[in-house]
Amino acid sequence: MNNLFEIDPNKCKHDGICVAACPSKLITLNEEDKLPIPIDRAEKQCFNCGHCVAVCPYGAFTLNTMDPEECAPVNKKLLPTADQAKLFLTARRSIRTYKTQPVDRATLSEIIDTARYAPTGHNLQPVNWLVIEDAGEISRLAGLVIDWMRYMIKEQPDIAKSMHLKRFVADWDNGDDKICRGAPHVIVAHAPKAIASAQSACTIALTYLELAAFSKGLGACWAGYFGAAASHYPPMAEALNLPDGHQCFGAMMVGYPQYRYHRIPLRKKAAITWR
């Protein structure tokens, strides 16, 4: 017994798999009984990734924060084949035409639940979610993105030109929202800006979110301009009212797609250098 993990001696087969799998090499086998024990000061270095619990075939390993009984078993029969996975990843599309019908909270919660399994640097799991459900609020925020674009066109014309901002403003003025595109929901990923890997964590989590949305018959699309305004335009950041020290690191439109896609469009050939 130690303050990091507990081993069930009746289940442990002394195979050392947990020792090999620990990314920080915090586990060793006891000389006498060959049961896993933590190295000195292991609890200070453990970042709770749970690989020790997840890799043990016998459920013998319990981290003090993670009981194997609480960790869902991997049902290999449900895993997609390589062909199915490739089709899934290539058939997803950025959806820009939505039904007005809202998505219920249970379904939105499910896709966010999947997104929390996205990898994060040092397993920090810094991503927080803001779900904007109200169409009026989405329109108000899109209007603030347009205000930011107008500001950029005036003050930073070169950047504005490279981002084609005049076109978005003209469309908005003609009653066409190219910022949130009529999506009934916008989901914002935010995290403490002091965390160096926060941007990557949110980007990867949003990528998972988009795929999870597709798997549930929903449509999603990166709201790139929304995210840019949220991190560069103080009135937009103020309107989002995120917790102190947090920054928006990306946003996604979500809703039911109006149309289905029947073919996979062509993409550039992979540019690979082999060494």
Ligand X SMILES: Cc1cc2nc3c(=O)[nH]c(=O)nc-3n(C[C@H](O)[C@H](O)[C@H](O)COP(=O)(O)O)c2cc1C
Our CB check for ligand X shows the closer of 222 and 256 to be 222
If binding is defined by CB under 6 A, does position 176 make contact with ligand X? no
Which range, of 64-72, 90-98, 169-177, 189-197, touches ligand X by CB under 6 A? 90-98
If binding is defined by CB under 6 A, does position 251 make contact with ligand X? no
The gap between the terminal CA atoms of the chain, to the nearest Å, is 48
Measured in whole angstroms, the distance separating CA 236 from the mean position of its chain's CA atoms is 22
Please state, in angstroms and as integers, the Cα–Cα distance from residue 14 to each residue in 19, 28, 69, following that order. 10, 11, 20
Name which of residues 143 to 162 contact ligand X (CB under 6 A): none
If binding is defined by CB under 6 A, does position 183 make contact with ligand X? no
Tell me how far, at minimum, the Cβ of 152 lies from ligand X, in Å: 14
Our CB check for ligand X shows the closer of 4 and 115 to be 115
If binding is defined by CB under 6 A, does position 94 make contact with ligand X? yes
Our CB check for ligand X shows the closer of 151 and 222 to be 222
The 206-225 site mask, x for binding ligand X (CB under 6 A), equals ---------------xxxxx
Site residues (CB under 6 A) for ligand X?
93-94, 96, 221-225
